[in-house]
Amino acid sequence: MSVSPAAVAASNPVATPPAPNPTATSTPTQADLLDFVRRTAADVDLIASLPLDPEGRTWVRLEGPGGSEAWLIGWPPGTGTGWHDHADSVGAFVTAAGELKENALAVRLPADGWKTLELTDGVDRERRLPAGKGRSFGRHHVHEVLNESSHQHAISVHAYYPPLPRIRRFSRSGPILRLEQVERPEDWQ
């Protein structure tokens, strides 16, 4: 994730989302993560507390269920993540305000050992996610998330388990997907 200078200061405390679901297991499943992000996205006060920057994404780390990594993220108009995956983590996200678009690939990529792949026809998926809508996903899910609005911020809640060991970033030109960078947690500090 990249952040502008006006992003949340490191001295801010970790935000506390709604109480966890008492039926959730100690190792959260995709369903547990989706339940968590839905409940958290419905917390109007928490969503309103996120500082928004007109130039770049902002975020606050949340306490996720069962040791998961969770984030509240603000998206200025016209911003996005670029193509990436979350390695061996499963995850979920829900739009809390505005609308996001997810472009995803319905294909499992090799874990390692490649730089360029040619994608076959029919692997592209697109989802529009207005406020209150979201999804969960499995390991090695390749996607990009975008706020295509020209005038409205979007806010979303994300959770991953296990906490992100790495993120692979890709470029895409037509059917060609190229591994550009591997980021590790120390890169986000």
Domain limits of the chain?
Answer: 30-109+116-188
CA distance 127 to 131: 13
Going by C-alpha positions, the residue among 78, 84, 77, 105 that lies closest to residue 158 is 84
Look at residue 7 in the predicted model and tell me its pLDDT.
38
Strand ranges, E, within 7-150: 58-63, 69-75, 83-85, 90-97, 99-105, 116-118, 124-130, 134-137, 143-146
Q: Which residues, listed in sequence order, are joined to residue 70 by a DSSP beta bridge?
A: 62, 159
Contact indicator for 38, 65 with CB cutoff of 8 Å:
no
Look at residue 140 in the predicted model and tell me its pLDDT.
87
Q: Could you tell me the fold of the domain covering 30-109+116-188? A: Jelly Rolls (2.60.120)
Q: What is the pTM of this model?
A: 0.85
All residue ranges of the chain with pLDDT < 70 are 1-25, 189
3-state helix, strand and coil shares in percent for the chain, rounded to the nearest 5: 15, 40, 50
